[in-house]
A and B are shown apart, each in its own frame.
Chain A
Amino acid sequence: MEMHELINVWKAYDQKLDKYLKVNERLLREVSFGKVRSLLREFKFTQIFELVCNALFTIFLMGYLIDNYAVLKFLLPGLGLLALMVWGMYWNITALDMMARTDVDTPVIVAQQRIEKLKMRERIERNALLVIIPVFWIAFMIVFFKGVLNLDFYVIFKGLIWSSFAGSIIVATIIVWFLKKFPDKKMEQAIEFLDEIKAIESNT
């Protein structure tokens, strides 16, 4: 069948629908449209919540670093966590910016690309946390004991600290291996879709 014939078939179908389709006006008049869910609303709240938490912890860390800048063993874990928080806030802000620029009436390719990138970032973040938590938990405990309880974690857990650190690195390595061995299917689908969009954009 040729394309022009199909267009005629489609036109006939359109005319048929014209006759048979109706809008449920009564339903639309009765219903309250108050609670309409945005495509990205849930994700937006998560990002705002994370941003606020990261900002509060950064303020705490700044105070901690001012108090402990002269002692290297307390300074280094604090700096490590500060770098992590700065990275986290940058991540949150860029995600929120992307969301602010994306609405449901944005051109389809642009909107879908942004939505998919956001979904992909969310999954990267989730996977990254699996590695970040074991790697940074000792730094966090050192900062927490010193900054909140004014105790020296190195003294209290003397002898355990380096073995725990080595253990956490091993755990993180196993998680990385596991993530590579069993890749996230949704992430692969997101990458595939982004590649499809890229191919359309570049006309290949």
Chain B
Amino acid sequence: MGNQQQKDAFIEMLEQHRKLLFKVASTYAKTEEDRKDLIQEITLQLWRSFNKYDGRVKFSTWIYRIALNVSISSFRKEKKRYSTSPLKEEIVITLKDESFEERAEQVKQLYTFIGQLKVIDKGIMLLYLEDKSHEEIGVILGLSKSNVGTRISRIKKKLKDYFELINKQHNV
């Protein structure tokens, strides 16, 4: 595949999976600026690995793995070092309308809840919300199906407690 063709295919792939990248980055970014940086970093790593995709796992599984690995590594890094990024001046994935209120109140609460989870559990919760099967979550993360099931049950329990607390606070 020529360089131009490869770029076209890559852009098409980004178009198709832009929401995925945006949501993974939103899950792990601590600030708006972090999210932008993280999307750039994920895009670069996707480009770096683009030719290496061998079809052993589903394409979306492969993208999730890269996006989550980059996000978790970035999340655990104290100091961000994206200075080598050739994309730093502009943003790869943007909102068409800056004034658009991206998150409804419930989505904000959901992100707040995810923000309180442990690093790996954040990924599990996101994949669960994305309607991935236990099996696919297991393949993305490298866990058994039953293990994923157990983790999800625990997260659900935490989620229930969290929303009960929120409701109590609202009622007071």
Which residues of A pack against B, CB within 8 Å?
1, 3, 6-7, 9-10, 12-14, 16-25, 27-29, 31-39, 103-112, 115-116, 186, 189, 193, 196-197, 200-201, 203
Instruction: Find out whether the CB atom of B120 lies under 8 angstroms from the CB atom of A104.
Output: no
Q: Are B86 and A35 in contact (CB under 8 A)?
A: yes
> Contact: A18 with B106, CB < 8 Å?
no
Q: How far is the CA of A103 from the CA of B65 in the complex (A)?
A: 10
- Could you jot down 10 A-B contacts, CB within 8 Å? A1-B106, A22-B94, A29-B7, A36-B47, A39-B73, A104-B66, A105-B65, A107-B65, A108-B65, A108-B140
A13 pairs with B92, CB closer than 8 A: no
Total CB contacts across the A-B interface at under 8 A: 160
Query: Please, what's the 1-or-0 string for B68-103, where 1 marks a CB less than 8 Å from any CB in chain A?
Result: 111011001010000011110011111111001011
Q: How far is the CB of B115 from chain A (nearest CB, A)?
A: 15
Of A12, A22, A115, A193, most B-chain CB atoms within 10 Å: A22
Secondary structure of the B contact surface, majority rule = helix
Is there an interface contact between B15 and A20, defined as CB atoms closer than 8 Å? no
Give the complex CA separation of A152 and B112 in angstroms: 69
Residues of B within 8 A of A (CB): 7, 10-11, 14-15, 18-19, 22-23, 43-45, 47-49, 52-53, 62, 65-66, 68-70, 72-73, 76, 78, 84-87, 90-97, 100, 102-104, 106-107, 110, 118-120, 123, 129-131, 139-143, 146-147, 150-151, 156, 159, 163
Select which of B23, B65, B100, B120 is within 8 A of A200 by beta carbon. B120
The reply to whether A107 and B139 contact each other, CB–CB distance below 8 Å, is yes
Shortest CB-to-CB span from B127 to chain A, Å, is: 10
Name the distance in Å between A178's Cβ and chain B's nearest Cβ: 22
Whether A200 touches B84, Cβ cut-off 8 Å, given contacts A10-B107, A29-B11, is no
**Partner pick for A32 among B86, B119, B130, B131, CB 8 A cutoff:** B86
List 10 tightest A-B contacts by C-beta distance, closest first.
A107-B142, A109-B142, A10-B129, A36-B48, A110-B142, A9-B106, A108-B141, A1-B163, A27-B90, A37-B84
Q: Which residues of B contact A3 (CB under 8 A)?
A: 156, 159
With both chains docked as a complex, state the minimum distance between the C-beta of B47 and any C-beta of chain A, in angstroms. 5
Report the nearest B residue to A204, measured CB to CB.
B150
Most buried by B among A6, A22, A108, A110: A108
Q: A108-B69, A108-B142 are in contact. Are A21 and B48 (CB under 8 A)?
A: no
Closest-CB distance, A171 to chain B (whole angstroms):
30
Contact status of A104 and B70, CB under 8 A, knowing A32-B86, A33-B86, A201-B147: yes
